[in-house]
């Protein structure tokens, strides 16, 4: 059977393409190689090789949650509720 190379064309936002190519180049890949990897993974996984989900919260909600947690940490620090590195490792069950 004869080997053939197929060519496909798709339209992509030029800025997105340039940014992706910059990242891929740092990985030593061309966009064509990356697309081939992606398509192989689609076949191997029998679907997309990553989860496609709708985030459970908006960016603003996630930011508010993060800031609230950071404030809790800052409040603990202000009250002197701090642990040494050794105490933290022990609380987290990390062996030295």
* Cα–Cα distance measured from residue 84 to residue 91, given in angstroms and rounded to the nearest whole number: 11
Residues 6+ apart with CB under 8 A from 95: 89
The answer on pLDDT for 3 being more than 70 is no
pLDDT in tens, 16-37: 999 999 999 999 999 999 999 9
What band does 1 get if pLDDT is binned at 50, 70 and 90?
very low
Phi, psi of 60 (to 5 degrees): -65, -40
Structure tokens of 92?
């987290």
Could you tell me the pTM of the whole model?
0.53
pLDDT (tens digit per residue) in 54-68? 889 999 999 999 999
Q: Give pLDDT tens digits for 72-94.
A: 999 999 999 898 899 999 989 99
How many other CB atoms are found less than 10 A from the CB of residue 90?
13
61-83 in b/e burial notation, b at 16+ Cβ within 10 A?
Answer: eeeeeeeeeeeeeeeeeeeeeee
- Give the phi and the psi of residue 48 in degrees, each rounded to 5: -65, 140
């Amino acid at each position: 059977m004869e080997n053939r190379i197929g060519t496909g064309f798709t339209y992509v936002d030029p800025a997105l393409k340039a940014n992706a190519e910059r990242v891929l180049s740092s990985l030593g890949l061309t966009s064509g190689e990356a697309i081939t990897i992606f398509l192989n993974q689609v076949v191997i996984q029998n679907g997309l090789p990553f989860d496609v989900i709708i985030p459970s919260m908006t960016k603003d909600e996630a930011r508010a949650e993060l800031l609230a947690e950071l404030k809790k940490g800052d409040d603990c620090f202000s009250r002197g509720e701090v642990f040494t590195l050794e105490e933290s490792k022990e609380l987290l069950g990390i062996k030295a």
